[in-house]
């Protein structure tokens, strides 16, 4: 099985000024593509030759895990973003956020803190467990919370390649802009 780089759900300049076309040319066109290429080079002759990305995330180790998870994580990240964002999740998810974090503002503060304080490269996630309880999870490098049995609802890529061209070292500024383009409709549908 050959993995493919999926199409973006919007035009490369659609997220400007929050995420620029230049960033997407590298982040999607170079980094995401490289994970796809690396994965396709690594899997032939291994037990993961015909495995889905989800199976790779749960079972693989080393380079196959790192590249497979990064392919999935990036596709998921693009599908967390939209140029036509709304400020709030839909009522069912909003109720759960209020229940599990106290308020939507407290959730945003905690998530922003998780994204800003994650040391080095990685991802901040909003996840739900089997009972529907929400939590915020920090994952380093290619980490994905499906490995721990959680269902991902939302993610923020905090690898430097996600923001360095636009924001240089100012990760908190990237996270502030990232909130403005979250696709709460899709995130709510996942809940």
Residue closer to Mn ion, measured from CB, 24 or 162: 162
Cβ contacts of 14 within 8 Å, gap of 6 or more: 83
Rounded least distance, CB 76 to Mn ion, Å: 11
The CA R_g of the chain, rounded to the nearest whole Å, is 16
Binding flag, residue 159, Mn ion (CB under 5 A)? yes
Q: Which stretch binds Mn ion (CB under 5 A): 41-49, 96-104, 133-141, 162-170?
A: 162-170
- CA torsion 119-123-124-129 (nearest 10°) is -120
- Cis before residue 17, ω within 30 degrees of 0? yes
Rounded least distance, CB 95 to Mn ion, Å: 31
Rounded least distance, CB 27 to Mn ion, Å: 6
**Among 157, 158, 175, 178, contact with Mn ion (rule: CB under 5 A):** 157
Rounded least distance, CB 118 to Mn ion, Å: 13
- CA–CA separation, 101 vs 105, rounded Å? 9
Query: Chain centroid to CA 41: how far?
Result: 23
Residue closer to Mn ion, measured from CB, 76 or 159: 159
């Amino acid at each position: 099985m050959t993995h493919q780089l999926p199409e973006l759900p919007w035009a490369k300049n659609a997220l400007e000024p929050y995420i620029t076309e230049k960033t997407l040319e590298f982040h999607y066109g170079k980094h995401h593509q490289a994970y796809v290429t690396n994965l396709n080079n690594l899997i032939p002759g291994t037990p993961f030759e015909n495995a889905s990305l989800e199976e790779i995330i749960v079972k693989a180790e080393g380079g196959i895990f790192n590249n497979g998870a990064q392919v999935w994580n990036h596709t998921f990240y693009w599908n967390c973003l939209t140029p036509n964002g709304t400020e709030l999740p839909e009522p069912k998810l909003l109720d759960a956020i209020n229940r599990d974090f106290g308020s939507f503002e407290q959730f945003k503060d905690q998530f922003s803190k998780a994204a800003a304080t994650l040391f080095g490269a990685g991802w901040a996630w909003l996840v739900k467990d089997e009972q529907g309880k929400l939590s915020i999870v920090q994952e380093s490098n290619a980490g994905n919370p499906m490995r721990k049995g959680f269902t991902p609802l939302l993610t923020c890529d905090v690898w430097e390649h996600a923001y360095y061209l636009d924001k240089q070292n100012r990760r908190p500024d990237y996270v502030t802009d990232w909130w403005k383009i979250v696709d709460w409709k899709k995130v709510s549908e996942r809940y």
